[in-house]
Chains A and B, each alone.
Chain A
Amino acid sequence: MSEQATGAGSGRPLNILIVDDSAMMRTMIKRVTGLCGVPIGEVFEAGNGREAIAVLESQRVDALFTDINMPVMTGTELLRAIEQDGRWPTLLRVIISTDGSAARRAEADELHVRLYVEKPFRPEVMRDVLSELASHS
């Protein structure tokens, strides 16, 4: 499969994929992203890493927001799979997790995670994250 086009350099709204095993958390993140004032295109959802891979294979996604601890396929396993696959080199990667340990953050750096958001977070944190991502698009 050829590399998918992303929002990088195009100036168009970001398509985002939210990966969390909590449907409520996905709803909350989706709601907050819609209130941030940053142009957002389509918002996709997945309940674990395996579902996220399926979305990436079928949709154009610019930014990935993923939890870490999930059943079936964790966020770390998802990010490793993305690294190894090589089809999505420009995908902007963000972790949103309750785990803010230094060990986990170091692991995220190795997996080319651009931003790391600890739960709980205030809605304005998401605005800052999206503004940061938009500045790279």
Chain B
Amino acid sequence: MSSANLRRTPDATEYHDSVREALVEVAENSFFAFVDPVEPEAAGEVLSMAPGWLQATVVFEGAFGGAMQIALAEPLAVELFASFLGLDPGEVPDDARLFDLVGEFGNMVCGSWLTRNCQRRRFDLRHPEVVRLTSDAPPRTEAALLVVTLNGQPACLRLTFSEA
């Protein structure tokens, strides 16, 4: 194998299975939520179910570099907040706490995925950046976008890699 092959920029779709596994681990263990896959042909319809989105971007460096973006339908983020802290399901957090939740969710999924894929190598995660996406600008449907539902509500994840 040539060194050029060893250093190629990874294709994000190659990692969809391991990303989904990390998502399931985080959702089930810490948020008591269940992940269901969404077929690519149904992705657009599922994404349109969300009235609005909160998106976390987690930049990583180390064995390989890039970023993981995780977008949660806003009602889902509210539900996960209550699950995580053991609160009444109807409790609505303020934006600061909701953004903290989405950032930590993204941090956990990214870290769990990197732990699986970096094996013995070290990596670093930057502080998550969280933004609210307007309802008229939802996540773009594309091959690299992994769409799932958590407790029946839409979520999606995009992995991008820095140039090797």
User: What residues of chain A have their CB less than 8 Å away from a CB belonging to chain B?
Assistant: 21-25, 27-28, 31, 69-71, 97-104, 107, 118-122
Interface residues of B (CB under 8 A from A): 25-26, 29-31, 81, 84-86, 97, 100-101, 103-104, 107-108, 110-112, 114-115, 118-127
Decide: B122 and A119 in contact? CB cutoff 8 A: no
Least CB separation from B86: chain A residue: A31
Of A22, A23, A71, A98, the most chain B CB neighbours within 10 A belong to A98
Interchain CB contact under 8 A, A101 and B120: yes
10 A-B pairs with the lowest CB-CB distances in the bound complex, closest first: A98-B111, A120-B30, A103-B122, A100-B115, A120-B29, A102-B120, A24-B100, A69-B125, A22-B104, A120-B26
Check B97 against A24 for contact (C-beta < 8 Å): yes
State A118–B107 Cα separation when bound (angstroms). Answer: 12
**B84 to A99, Cβ gap below 8 A?**
no
Q: How many A-B contacts if CB must be within 8 Å?
A: 79
Q: Is the CB of A97 within 8 A of B111?
A: yes
Cβ contact within 8 Å between B30 and A119: yes
**Beta-carbon contact of A31 and B30 below 8 Å:** no
Query: Would A101 and B121 be within 8 Å (CB), given that A23-B100, A24-B100 are in contact?
Result: yes
A77–B31 Cα distance when bound, in Å, is 30
Nearest opposing residue in chain A for B97, CB measure: A24
| A118 closest partner in B (C-beta) | B115
| Closest chain A residue to B25, Cβ basis | A120
> For residue A27, which residue of chain B has the nearest CB?
B85
Set of chain B residues within 8 Å of A31, measured between Cβ atoms: 85-86
User: In the assembled complex, which residues on chain A have CB atoms less than 8 Å from the CB atom of B104?
Assistant: 22, 24-25
When distances are taken between beta carbons in the complex, the residues of chain B under 8 Å from A22 are 100, 103-104, 107
Q: Which residue of A25, A71, A103, A121 contacts B120 across the interface (Cβ within 8 Å)? A: A103
User: In the complex the two chains form, is A99's CB within 8 Å of B123's CB?
Assistant: yes
The CA of A99 and the CA of B23, in the complex, are separated in Å by 15
Most buried by B among A24, A70, A107: A24
Interface contact A24-B108, CB-CB below 8 Å:
no
Given contacts A119-B26, A120-B31, 14 further A-B contacts (CB under 8 A): A27-B85, A69-B107, A69-B127, A70-B127, A97-B111, A99-B115, A101-B114, A102-B120, A103-B121, A107-B122, A119-B107, A120-B112, A122-B29, A122-B30
Chain A residues within an 8 Å CB radius of B84: 24, 28
Measured CA separation A120–B107 after assembly (Å): 10
Which of the listed residues B26, B31, B112 has the most CB atoms from chain A within 10 Å of its own CB?
B112
Our pick among A25, A101, A118, A121 for the contact of B123 (Cβ within 8 Å) is: A101
- The smallest beta-carbon distance between B130 and chain A, in angstroms, is 11
**Complexed CA–CA distance, A128 and B85 (Å):** 19
In the complex, what's the smallest C-beta–C-beta distance from B43 to chain A, in angstroms?
A: 26
